[in-house]
């Protein structure tokens, strides 16, 4: 009887392991998905580059927005991530990547080698981007200088250093859905919603997260602890911005100046260096959408010491 129970337990373990291995397999975008002809628009690629904040994480020299050698440390409750080289260098960067491999990384969070990428790279937001925008972004990145040198490996404790477990994380927090326009809203609102939720990935910092590191859906944009461990990210729903006008928000995205004539700092200052590069129409669209976010209570802010 004991031998039979041990045998059944072994079989159950093998079946469970096989199921885990199947369910957590990294996904990719086949080249055939990009078979449709596409005329590259480099100006649009630059817009996606600026909206996506590529410089903030991948350009160590903020005075040179073109050198994307990475290597910057991103602290988190799960360990420290180091941003990769995404320059056109064929060995250390993404210069040898195919278009399908780039799109796969952006919307599936899978590397060219078939490994899961950590969501410190905000692919849960980038998955909302249109294929045409991703293709333009890839083409634009290839026009920028090649930079040699690879970033060091992430510094993550067990079990977070086991990439395969990210397949389970993706099952919970990566739905694979591109942005869908809301027919009841204006074209400007939809453009803003796309930029904020897709390339702009604003919710990645402006939302509280659960114990697994996923955004708490009911408190999206409601602010919370800084993911890097220092300070507090503000609530940008109408709970936090009720007194701000669309013009106020658009001006902040251009200048970094609040209606109280204060200047943003920290990570938001880096964001402004990107949004200030966008056209006025795009900044205003982002402001229109942000102003429409209903008031949501965020997590309680700890008292100042």
Q: Residue 81: which H helix or E strand, with range? A: strand 79-82
Nearest to 208 by CA among 298, 271, 121, 122: 298
Q: What is the pTM of this model?
A: 0.90
Asked if residue 302 is part of any domain, the answer here is no
Domain encompassing residue 166: 2-292
Q: Is residue 297 part of a domain?
A: no
Q: Tell me if 298 is assigned to some domain.
A: no
Number of domains in the chain: 1
DSSP annotation string for 126-155: HTTS-HHHHHHHHHHHTTSPP----PPPPB
Q: What is the pLDDT along the chain (305 residues), one digit of tens a residue?
A: 656 656 555 555 555 555 554 567 889 999 998 888 899 999 999 999 999 999 999 988 888 899 999 989 999 989 999 999 999 999 999 999 999 999 999 999 999 999 999 999 999 999 999 999 999 999 999 999 999 999 999 999 998 888 999 999 999 999 999 999 999 999 999 999 999 999 999 999 999 999 999 999 999 999 988 877 678 899 999 999 999 999 999 999 999 999 888 888 888 899 999 999 999 999 999 999 999 999 999 898 877 66
Angle between helices 42-51 and 131-141 (to 10 degrees): 90
CB 116, CB 26: distance < 8 Å:
yes
Q: Is residue 303 part of a domain?
A: no
Residue 15 forms part of a structural domain: yes
Question: Which pLDDT score, from 0 to 100, does residue 241 have?
Answer: 95
- Interval 223-233: pLDDT, tens: 988 877 678 89
Q: What's the count of helices (H) and strands (E) in the chain, helices before strands?
A: 12, 4
Asked if residue 58 is part of any domain, the answer here is yes
Q: Is residue 67 part of a domain?
A: yes
Does 268 fall in a domain?
yes
């Amino acid at each position: 009887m004991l031998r039979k129970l041990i045998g059944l337990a072994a079989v159950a373990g093998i079946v469970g392991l096989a199921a885990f291995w199947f369910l957590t397999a990294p996904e990719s975008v086949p080249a055939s998905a990009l078979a449709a002809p596409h005329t590259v628009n480099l100006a649009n690629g630059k817009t996606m580059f600026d909206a996506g904040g590529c410089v903030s994480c991948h350009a160590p020299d903020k005075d040179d927005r073109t050198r994307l050698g990475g290597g910057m440390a991103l602290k988190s409750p799960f360990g420290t991530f180091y941003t990769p080289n995404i320059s056109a260098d064929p060995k250390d960067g993404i210069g040898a990547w195919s278009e399908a491999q780039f799109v796969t990384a952006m919307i599936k969070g899978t590397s060219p080698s078939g490994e899961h990428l950590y969501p410190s790279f905000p692919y849960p937001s980038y998955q909302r981007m249109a294929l045409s925008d991703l293709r333009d972004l890839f083409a634009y990145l290839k026009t920028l200088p090649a930079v040699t040198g690879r970033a060091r490996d992430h510094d993550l404790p067990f079990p977070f250093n086991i990439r395969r477990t990210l397949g389970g994380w993706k099952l919970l927090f990566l739905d694979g859905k591109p942005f869908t326009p809301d027919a009841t809203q204006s074209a400007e609102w939809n453009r803003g919603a796309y930029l904020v939720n897709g390339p702009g990935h604003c919710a990645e910092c402006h939302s509280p997260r659960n114990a697994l590191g996923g955004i708490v859906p009911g408190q999206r944009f409601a602010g919370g602890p800084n993911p890097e461990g220092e300070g507090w990210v503000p609530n940008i729903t109408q709970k936090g911005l009720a007194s701000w006008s669309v013009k106020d928000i658009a001006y902040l995205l251009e200048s970094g100046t609040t209606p109280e004539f204060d200047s943003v700092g920290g990570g938001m200052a880096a964001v402004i260096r990107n949004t200030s590069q966008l056209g006025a129409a795009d900044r205003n669209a982002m402001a229109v959408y942000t102003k429409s976010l209903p008031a949501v209570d965020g997590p309680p802010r700890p008292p100042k010491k």
